[in-house]
Structures are given as C-alpha cells and as structure tokens.
Chain A
Amino acid sequence: MIVIIDSSKNQSIAAYLKKLWCYRNLILIFAYRNIQGKIAQTRLGIFIILLQAIILTLVFGFFISRFITFSVSYPYLLFAVTGMMAWYIFSYIATFSGTSIMQNRQIASKIYFPRIILPFSYGLSVLLDFTGWLIVLTALLIYYGIMPSYNFWAFFLFLIIDVITGLAVGLWIALLSIKNRDVALFAPLIIGIGMFFTPVFYPVKVLPEYLADILYFNPLACVVEGFRWSLFNSPFDIRFLWGFLIILLLFITSVFFFVKKDGNMADNI
C-alpha cells in the first residue's frame, strides 16, 4: 500500500470519494459511537431514544391538539406526527452533523480518515430515532384503523431525501464553522425558527397564496408533504419539487466544498 501525501490543492474529488469508499465501514462505527455516547450513563439505555418520540406524541396528542387543530382528511394527530417525524429527523441531523467536526475535534485532529464521515455518521445514527417514530406511527395507524396508501413505496424515498436535506444543511453549518464558530452558535436558533416556516403543524392550504408560494422553496416542506402523500395520499403539489432541486444543489455543493476543505481542516478545529 503506497500513499502519496500531497498538498491539498492537488486533491481531486474522485480520489476523495474513492478513499471514502475504502473507509465506508467507519460511517457505521461512528454511528454506533454516536448512539453509544448518547446513551452512556443512562439506565434506560437504547429505550431512552425510542421514548422521545413516544413522549412527544403523547404530550401533543393529549394536550396541545386539544387547543390547536386543523381539519384534514385524516386524523389531525397523524398529520402532526408525520410532520414532527420529518422535522425531528431533519433537525437532529442538521444540528448534530453541523457540530460533528467540532465535537469530535479530538479525534479528527489526531487520526486520519476522510472527515466527511463524521457528519455522515449522524445520517445513519438517526435511524434509531426514526425507529421510535415508526413505532408511534404504526401504533397510531392501527389505532385509527388506517391503511397506508398505495404510494407507500415512496415513504422510504422521502426518508432518504429527509436525511439528505439534514446532511446538506449540516455540512454547510460544519463548513462555515470550521474557522469561525459564529454560524455554529446561531444554527440551532435558525433551525428552530425554521419549523414555523414548514407545514409541520398546519396544512399548506390555510396559508394565503403568496406565502404558500414561498413555501415551495423550502426543501423540508417538500419532505413533509411527501411523507403525507405517501402515507395518506393527501394532495401533493408538484411545485414542491423546487425544494427537492434546492436540496440536491445544497448537498452537492456542500460535499464539494467539504472535500476541498478537508486537507487543512485539522489546523483550524
């Protein structure tokens, strides 16, 4: 095995992706590490992650949905839970992968591996949280006696898009906060505000026309509505695909710049 160490200017994207492929096992290992780190020193262990979804749903179902409801063609609780699931997966990945380089700087500045693995690993470890939501969702579907629609195949497709959206935003946060931490500090705030601009708790149709138009450019609106379409066959506006394009653009550019920055990352974190 011969390795040539060269200045980062000469690093090509293809070579980096090839290296990433060699180190693909590491994504799994870091995902495992993320989960292990999260449940360390807890009594409930892995159930604490599953419980989060259940508790959130219970609180919402018993309290909040009594005061705020919107009429949709299927139970409102299902509407909100799908929204919350999509939003939770996104915000988990975006916040954690955004700070992943900073959080793991001890390891990233001492051991060599393609560092894009760190943010990517959160895209995988979110699957445990997702399992929690899936359990809640299945339970609710059985409770209300609703069969998923024939679009169900797209459910996992939208899950992947959801993960990619989270990664794209997370990678950009990570990139912008390598040298200066300003972005990383504001990111959770902005992501939090972002929830109000996404149809998590309200249907798009309650909005005035001009606001709904803006919503089409929100990548996450595409995901949320996509989930609902795949489960309940609710109407899916084709204009939401604008969001999908933005996701792709964000993701590809973030990976591109990340690869370019990787070589000197250890100097700044």
Chain B
Amino acid sequence: MDRKIVISAQNLKKHYFISKGLFSFLQKKEKNNIITVLNGINLEIDKGEILGIIGRNGSGKSTLLKVLSGVTSPSGGKAIINGKIVSAIEVAGGFNPDLNALENIRLLGRIWGVSTKEIHKLESDIINFSRLKEFIYLPVKKFSTGMVGRLAASIIIYIKADIYLFDEVLNGSDQLFKRQLHNKILNLQSNGSTILFATHNATDVLALCNRVILIDSGKIIFNGNAFKGIIQYRKLIQADLSKLILSQPIVNINNVKSNNILFNHIKMISTGECHQLSLTLLAAPGFYSQGTVHIIINNAFDIPVGHTSFFMEKIPEKCNLSCNFPLTLLTDGIYTISLAASLIPEKWMFFPRILEFEIKTNIKQQNDFIPGISLTQAKWNISC
C-alpha cells in the first residue's frame, strides 16, 4: 500500500508577544514578554488517519490546529498541507447570532467554499443530522450551547474536504449526538479523509483515534498508541505518579463519611499478587438494619471495570472489614477504587476515587496499556 502524507509539519513554532502600556511599541522583544506556544512541532500525518491531539489546557493544541488551518501564521517553521482543509475550531464562531439556523447553514457553507447548489442539496442532511428540525427558523442566539455546537459540527462534517480539523467539537453535546458524530467521522475516514481531533476527553480519543499525540508546553512528548498516550497524559497531570513504587496506593484518604456512616482507616496493602483493602466501618446505632458494601475498581478513564460486594445482615456500630482481591486480571495502568454502600432503609452511598494505585507488570504483551480485564483464558489460533 502506498503511503500518502497529507500533512507534514517541520519545526513549527509560534510565539506571542505581550505588550503593556502606552509606549509598548518601544519595548524590545525580550524573553520575558514572549510566550512560546508551539516550540518546534514535527509531525507527519498519513491519508486516512484519525489523529487525536491531547494535552492540558494551554498546551498548544488549538494553536497547532489554527496554524495548520491557516488562521494564524507560524512564527517559524513550515507545514505542507496536501488537500482541502476544513476546520471546526471553537465551532460556533462563524455564526451570525441574529440570523436563523437555515440562513446560517447557507452562509457558513458558502464561507467554506461550498456552492449554493450544493448547499441546497446538503441542507436537509445537515438539519437531520443535527436533529434541529423544529428550530431551523429560530435565530441562532436563542439556541443553547449544545445546539449551536451541534449545528456547527453538522455543517462542517457535511462539507466535502480531504482534511477535517476538530477542536473540542463535542463539548456540551449530548451522548446521542456524540455517537452520531463518531460514526460519521469513521464514515469520513473510510472514504479517505483525514481527521485531526483535539480533545480533553479520553473516551472520544479511545472511541475514534488511530493514533494520538500528546502535546505539552508546545512540544510533542508522545506519539503513538492512544491507550498509552492517555496514560502518559494522566501521568503528566499527576507528575508525582512516576515516582511511586509498584502497586502502591497513590492517594490515601483516611476517612470518608456521610450521614450516619463513616469509613476510616482505609488502607491498602499489596503483597505480590494479592491486594488487601482494609477499612473500619462506623455506623450510627440503630439506623440501618442491613446493607451491602461495594468495592469498585475504575480504570484510568474513571470507568468501572470490576467490583466486589459484601452483604451484611446486620450492621454493627463498629466493625473492621478487609477484602483480599487478586489483581492479576487487570492489565498495566492506573486504577482507582471507589467505595459504595447500599443500605436498608433505602439509601445509596458513594465515595468516588478514594484510593489510586498503579499496576506495573513486566509482561511484554501487556505493555500497550490496553485497559480493562485481560482475558487469560482466551485461546488463539494462527494459520497462514
């Protein structure tokens, strides 16, 4: 198969100058009034890729997309773009709030270079996709944030282009639209378009991206597997994480409490393959007759991957609970533990992320950081 590079960036740089005061133009462009947003980005993107761009706020994701789409010129370096590019950067920008949705579709489409004839064909598709049929004659200023975002994303996605840039398009839109957009993006990809997708949201990245780049202070610090990228991103947020020893709890909250019930002395001890979680339960006397205590294990994206429950026929005033659970099932990565209790009379209590720990094994197959349970029982066959 031929490899066709659609975007190639070489040493892209972007600086901003801050100027203050009446005579700011006399200031020299010194170090302390320069902000470096992009600091030498080298990137090659193949045709038909969905590239996720992740990073903290202000790390340069949006600026990179702005530079690539030509909205602002780089201060140094160069990028070669092969194909028509459309971009949804802070999407609602192109709308005229006084005009209604239909007029805005026509205007924005034309601004993106779609002919009037083509827009007339696309109109109904766009309206159906955005699920805003009842609202198309309403001025856009009366739309909610989610609706504006939905409309804008729908327009962009129906414009024919070779490269699509999306910057936080799914912020504020509902689960259904998210699904729709994901499917549409995958559809575009299968037709040979290239998609760049900047987001904070790990689930979007995992649902879509073939590859991920992690940007921090204007540099690409990771490029590759999305799972690994997100783990790296998480580590970046919690810089201390890398310093910790294997399988040690990272955050340790000693007691969590709600009305009438208190968990304290929460402790996790790791012994080789087994982890023991121990805690003390204190309950207000005579308040709850019986109940179940749950330990929930979440993966790095805060999605529950496993749980264990313990039913208590009688809740004493004070008791020590301990639970041993094997963690060999889980693959490498960061996990958090949440505590929950469902009590009678009817009460649900939830204490999210009270403990955090990391699992590091040295098994080769597991180094790709695919989250979740590793199916040790699965059988593989190979035939050539």
- Range for the number of chain A residues in contact with chain B: 20 to 34
**Closest CB of chain A to B156's CB: distance in Å?**
10
Set B66, B81, B93: member contacting A107, Cβ < 8 A: B93
Minimum CB distance partner of A113 in chain B: B111
Compute how far the CA of A16 lies from the CA of B125 in the bound complex, rounded to whole angstroms: 35
A111 within 8 Å of B (CB atoms): yes
A109 within 8 Å of B (CB atoms): yes
Taking CB atoms, residues of chain B closer than 8 Å to A26 are: 110-111
Q: A2-B80, A111-B71 are in contact. Are A266 and B66 (CB under 8 A)?
A: yes
Minimum CB distance partner of B112 in chain A: A111
A1 within 8 Å of B (CB atoms): yes
Set B77, B82, B89: member contacting A110, Cβ < 8 A: B89
Q: A40-B98, A109-B93, A110-B94 are in contact. Are A264 and B107 (CB under 8 A)?
A: no
**Closest CB of chain B to A179's CB: distance in Å?**
7
A181 within 8 Å of B (CB atoms): no
Q: A4-B79, A107-B93 are in contact. Are A36 and B99 (CB under 8 A)?
A: yes
Contact, CB under 8 Å: A29 / B110: yes
Taking CB atoms, residues of chain B closer than 8 Å to A2 are: 80-82
Compute how far the CA of A81 lies from the CA of B98 in the bound complex, rounded to whole angstroms: 33
B72 within 8 Å of A (CB atoms): yes
Taking CB atoms, residues of chain B closer than 8 Å to A112 are: 69-71, 87
Contact, CB under 8 Å: B96 / A33: yes
Taking CB atoms, residues of chain A closer than 8 Å to B295 are: none
Minimum CB distance partner of B82 in chain A: A2
Question: Which one of A6-14, A61-69, A142-150, A160-168 is at the B interface?
Answer: A6-14
B83 within 8 Å of A (CB atoms): yes
Contact, CB under 8 Å: A107 / B99: no
Taking CB atoms, residues of chain B closer than 8 Å to A266 are: 66, 71-72
Minimum CB distance partner of B13 in chain A: A7
B52 within 8 Å of A (CB atoms): no
Set B78, B96, B139: member contacting A5, Cβ < 8 A: B78
Among A1, A7, A11, A179, residue most surrounded by chain B Cβ atoms (within 10 Å):
A7
Chain A contact residues, CB within 8 Å of chain B? 1-8, 11, 25-26, 29, 32-33, 36-37, 40-41, 106-107, 109-113, 179, 263-267
12 A-B pairs within 8 Å (CB atoms) are namely A5-B79, A5-B81, A25-B110, A37-B96, A41-B98, A41-B139, A106-B93, A111-B87, A111-B112, A112-B87, A113-B111, A263-B72
For the complex with contacts A5-B70, A5-B78, A36-B99, 11 further pairs of A-B residues with Cβ separation under 8 Å are: A1-B84, A6-B78, A7-B77, A33-B107, A37-B96, A40-B96, A40-B139, A106-B95, A109-B72, A111-B69, A112-B87
